[in-house]
Structure 1
């Protein structure tokens, strides 16, 4: 069988993958599981290469789960193509093997689709920058989630000391409150310190609206003269949690600096952030979600990937009904939605379009989704041509 072309499809997993190899007639030559381990991957590559000199590899994921696999394949000089998970799911309905989804069935579908299709994009193993952005944006997301949990716990403990102080403290949006609560927690201590000394302390720590925070804190403290049970322990916990919030703020800021520095090195960075509402953070999230922008075949494909291309849901005499597809990148959808939400506030053209959709009777979320779908066309054109957005440029120059 040496010299005959074969196609290897890999269903990527976290701990292990499943490979299926088919020949030119679609017959299965190999189907087995292998660990996500360098030695196991190398062994599988040797087994597959034994079936023919012309081997075409295809994977269904390009996330961190596939990093080791793609790296070893690239090191072995193998060409790897990409078939999206959505395409695998759609194609699997016409293959035998029961209705149940299995790794073996998905790997066979990937291999067979690769055999029949010539339009699958080739993956390039030079995306260290994308991998770094994926790790950094994921790390930042974790930090923000930790910060939210810490603030919620801080508020819970602050209620045990002074409910009035908890009501006025804007901990989530104003760093100054965390600075204050790291030093002063009890109403008595805040009253005794007074507005003037609190203001000076906060100002020395770099808090901008120090006097406003000090005034609100003292006012809330004066409204409560009784001491609540367990105040001492609650105060210690509040101080510890407040210091935790300050530390997490610094770590999020450091992560933002690293994300921006790496994002700006991408050749498409300026084109992406030129779109109103798309800052460096959302731009980095966009690149992290799509990976290689060369994988985007059209504006319609990008819209479907982001869940912004409704699918028909006709039934009987009811036609024209649409619904959100079940399979799409929620991360990519969030990027497009949040950027549209920002653009509707800061960009006159986007705001006018959003208002027009609202006048047509659409709810705010629906109008924002319509705007996000429209912006997909623009963003795709900017990426395709590697040019920056111009307010008066036509939006219609988009390849299907």
Structure 2
């Protein structure tokens, strides 16, 4: 069958089966199918699209309420546009077709198809990122999730130690990321309770530090730990203390697994990110290394047509403010609807850029001195990501003199 009219496809996806609807540009339902979530179901879907005129040169656009999964991967082959519709937006469109608030999977598929028919221009298709960029996105997001998970478990461990083992918290306090360090893990496994820690000898402390990989300062560190563990601390009853020690070991096992996962994924990011053509430009910016740069690339992608201009990217990142006006009242506030991962990476990026770039530091201080206490860092991120957009579009490395000419001129005058 040829495509005399424009045709749109909507898919209501589920874990085991999916409902498909095809409509033409007049809104007439052309076909509907119920397919399974397997290779046979995907083939049935592609055959249905081909039956109604889907070709490599003129593919049928598809609307679906997710951006991930094998079904989306199958649909994204070739030049087909796939639109990931927000479920909340789909619910609002559903009210346009039925005031009874009835809901069904075939009906939702029809709603999604009609969203493209009426408002495709108002929705953004999934970006046409390269396979390498998508692979880096998987690794960078997984590493970020693993880091957050590790910190969450470390907070649980700290909370538990405060209940019965304050000596351990005091002993590990001088160490950076104390509870996540291998020295802390070896000592807690050697002495799960404060009573056992107080009985540790210097030899046992030496052995624990060596097992953790420490090479220097073992004698002094072992003596400091021995004094901390043998100080005068309050104790839980012995039976309760032993039970809490067993609970602590269980949480410690989770923390070690989370730490290993975060470290392994960080290594994978370090190997994959420099292979991308955009890595050289991204790493030229102050404050961006492999891990943070990979997180930025993961959310930006490498589809140059994804954002029409830098303003769109800034809004997507939540870096630019939003103006709300009604009548004589108006207010300028931060954006709440944004890419949270990119916004979080931008916060860390701006914080690092302050110390890595004299121009960024001067810009940040100037905003702070003007009374912009809460938004100075966000404003710096707004400026930096706009510069990154320009550099990626023109394949140019970061130039401090161009990025912050006012700060560069001041430095030259002082010199």
Question: Does the CA contact (< 8 Å) of 2:359 and 2:404 recur in 1?
Answer: no
Deviates more, 1:287-296 or 1:203-212: 203-212
d(CA) in 1 for partners of 2:12, 2:308: 22
Q: For residues 240 and 205 of structure 1, do their structure 2 counterparts lie closer, same or farther at Cα, with a shift above 3 Å needed?
A: same
1:108 to 111, 114, 119: 114
Aligned residue in 1 for 2:191: 184
Structure 1: give runs of 5+ residues left out of the alignment.
none
Question: Does the CA contact (< 8 Å) of 1:21 and 1:29 recur in 2?
Answer: yes
Alignment size in residue pairs: 385
Deviates more, 1:33-42 or 1:341-350: 33-42
Aligned residue in 2 for 1:134: 137
Question: Does the CA contact (< 8 Å) of 2:62 and 2:113 recur in 1?
Answer: no
Aligned residue in 1 for 2:209: 202
Cα RMSD of the aligned pairs, angstroms, is 3.8
Question: Does the CA contact (< 8 Å) of 1:17 and 1:36 recur in 2?
Answer: yes
Superposition deviation, residue 394 in structure 1: 4.7
d(CA) in 2 for partners of 1:12, 1:138: 26
- Correspondence list, 1:164-183, <5 A: 164-170=167-173, 171-172=178-179, 174-183=181-190
d(CA) in 2 for partners of 1:318, 1:181: 59
d(CA) in 1 for partners of 2:153, 2:233: 25
* Secondary structure of the corresponding residue to residue 314 of structure 1: strand
- Correspondence list, 1:36-75, <5 A: 36-52=37-53, 54-59=58-63, 63-65=67-69, 67-72=70-75, 74=77
Aligned residue in 1 for 2:277: 267
Aligned residue in 2 for 1:353: 363
Question: Does the CA contact (< 8 Å) of 2:49 and 2:60 recur in 1?
Answer: no
Aligned residue in 2 for 1:333: 343
Question: Does the CA contact (< 8 Å) of 2:8 and 2:24 recur in 1?
Answer: no
Q: Give TM-score scaled by structure 1 length.
A: 0.79
Superposition deviation, residue 285 in structure 1: 1.8
- Correspondence list, 1:189-268, <5 A: 189-194=196-201, 198-199=205-206, 201-203=208-210, 205-207=212-214, 210=218, 211-212=220-221, 214-216=223-225, 218-224=227-233, 228-230=237-239, 231-268=241-278
1:217-244 CA-to-partner distances (Å, cap 9, x unmatched) read: 5224322386743233333443454454
Aligned residue in 2 for 1:386: 395
d(CA) in 1 for partners of 2:402, 2:14: 44
d(CA) in 2 for partners of 1:213, 1:238: 22
1:311 to 313, 322, 335: 322
**Residue 162 of structure 2 is aligned to residue 151 of structure 1:** no
* Secondary structure of the corresponding residue to residue 255 of structure 2: helix
Question: Does the CA contact (< 8 Å) of 2:35 and 2:42 recur in 1?
Answer: yes
Aligned residue in 1 for 2:79: 79
Question: Does the CA contact (< 8 Å) of 2:316 and 2:338 recur in 1?
Answer: yes
d(CA) in 1 for partners of 2:21, 2:116: 8
d(CA) in 1 for partners of 2:14, 2:222: 48
Aligned residue in 1 for 2:6: 6
* Secondary structure of the corresponding residue to residue 53 of structure 2: coil
d(CA) in 1 for partners of 2:223, 2:113: 63
Structure 2: give runs of 5+ residues left out of the alignment.
406-415
* Secondary structure of the corresponding residue to residue 52 of structure 1: coil
Question: Does the CA contact (< 8 Å) of 2:63 and 2:83 recur in 1?
Answer: yes
Aligned residue in 2 for 1:277: 287
Q: Give TM-score scaled by structure 2 length.
A: 0.77
Q: For residues 373 and 200 of structure 1, do their structure 2 counterparts lie closer, same or farther at Cα, with a shift above 3 Å needed?
A: same
Question: Does the CA contact (< 8 Å) of 1:289 and 1:331 recur in 2?
Answer: yes
**Residue 371 of structure 2 is aligned to residue 370 of structure 1:** no
Question: Does the CA contact (< 8 Å) of 1:161 and 1:228 recur in 2?
Answer: no
Deviates more, 1:267-276 or 1:20-29: 20-29
1:119-172 CA-to-partner distances (Å, cap 9, x unmatched) read: 977854x73323433332343234334423432343344345432333443434
* Secondary structure of the corresponding residue to residue 56 of structure 1: coil
